[in-house]
Amino acid sequence: MTAALPPMVSGKLPIVGHALEMLRDRESLFKRGYQEHGDVFAMQLGPQPIAVVTGGEHNRHLYMETDKSLNMQDGYAFLKASFGEVFFVASKDTYYNQRPVLQELFKRERMVGYIQAMNAEVQEWLDSLGQAGEVDITAAMRQLTQFVVGRAMIGPDYNKELGPGFWEQYEGIAAGLDFVLPPNLPLPKFRRRDRARAHITKTLNGLIQKRRENPDQYDDLITTLLSTPLKDGSRLDNEDIVTIFMGLLFAGHETTAGQAAWLIALLLRHPDYLARVRQEISERVTYGQPIDAALLSKLDHIYMAIDETTRMQPSADIQVRTVDTPMKVGNYEVPAGWRMMVSAATSHNLPGVFTNPERFDPLRFSPERGEGKDPFAIVGFGGGIHKCTGMNFAKNEMAVITALLFQQFDLELLSKEIHVVSGNGANHPSEVRVRYKRKPLSALTDVKTIQQAVEAGCPHMRQKVAEEQLSSQ
């Protein structure tokens, strides 16, 4: 007897199916499907049927069957139109051939330099804020994460090398990401995407050529891409390097920006847990000293807050596969040609897995409680062999931002209503308006240290002393 198809969630419209609701409010669509049918249900996006799965067991099945009964490439055609055939949107053979390059870029030894770039860019942003004012954290995190990934991957002269207007082109790329519509329709947003891609390609080709002509003058990720062999022993050509680097720059800021903004907003909304974070910063982070990997490993409360933010507000809330071979999921059979989709909106909020899942409660990840131990219970960074290779980069960046921001400033959340903005690129919060006031130097370090630094000619400390004196007049 043939197993039944997954049951269809309510609200299906003629021709378009659930496409309009998917664009408008996909979280509510997924939650309604779960309430109506449980862990496995179906929806329809135009002519395309999709099986949506929830929970660690079914999530595990999706990730472990990737490259077997399921493929990643077909479901991400909208990314291929923006970046080309690279990593998980390329064919399976191409992906596995390129994988050694990706592993080289994010190996542990390289993280030392990345963390240094994070320290430098975060501190420059904090210094630019002055003594007091207001800032939209959502917009600030978008720019800051762009600068961090630029410095980490290209070096301190990244803005000069990339030229004016480079990052604005990524707005065109993000606007052209559309999971529902065919990516090659003659629409204005897709034309803008193609123009942006052409601009970025031209810029990156110039950087690659400079490094090919002067290999001894550079030591950055482009030179790494030029020199690291693929699995078959060959080297990447210029087109592949542009495609990979374009994707890395985008992925390196697009998802992290939203998560970082949500992290700050959630901490400010929950002063009891923020007090734990502040105490941890006070005890372990020395003002004026860079944060390194050893110190990051001791910031337990910050990393628990990062994990809880990923659970509650994942930037990448869905992952998609295409069914190549008919497969059984729970009590249902999903035919070849269907898509399968993991929904973080429901998986991350299962009361049988997480206590009071609607609450911001980072201590759920403490050793004493140990919730979410199933590696497939939280899927904000994917799972299995295709789990995001840059996950540690993103988490470390958010930790550095949190530690230095709350070390040096008192903050007040002004925005009363913050909602998820989805549709183009990764999810992110609406405006997160924050009032800030810089802490006096005496609250950050002792008077003797300040005097010694000033006498030694430390330009940073001299500037801070001068700014503090000026603001007090």
Q: 332: which strand partners? A: 4, 329
Q: Are 344 and 352 in contact (CB under 8 A)?
A: no
% of residues, the chain, pLDDT over 90: 60
Q: Does domain 19-439 have CATH number 1.20.1050.10?
A: no
* Averaged pLDDT, 17-37: 92
Produce one character per residue of 361-391: b if its CB has 16 or more CB atoms within 10 Å, e if not: bbebbeeeeebbeeebbbbbbbbbebebbbe
Q: Are 402 and 95 in contact (CB under 8 A)?
A: no
Q: Distance from CA of residue 41 to its chain's centroid?
A: 27
pTM over 0.85: yes
CA distance 5 to 328: 10
DSSP string, 83-119: H-S-GGGS-HHHHHHHHHHHHHHT-HHHHHHHHHHHH
User: What does the domain layout of the chain look like in residue ranges?
Assistant: 19-439, 441-473
CA distance 81 to 427: 20
pLDDT band at 43 (very low <50, low <70, confident <90, very high): very high
* Averaged pLDDT, 455-469: 55
pLDDT single digits (tens) 141-194: 999 999 999 999 999 999 999 998 899 998 888 888 877 778 888 999 999 999
pLDDT single digits (tens) 308-364: 999 999 988 888 999 999 999 999 999 999 999 999 889 999 998 999 999 999 999
Q: What is the rounded end-to-end Cα distance, in angstroms, of the chain?
A: 84
Tell me which range, 86-100, 156-170, 421-435, 441-455, is most confidently predicted by mean pLDDT: 156-170
Residue 78 predicted with pLDDT over 80: no
Q: Are 174 and 246 in contact (CB under 8 A)?
A: no
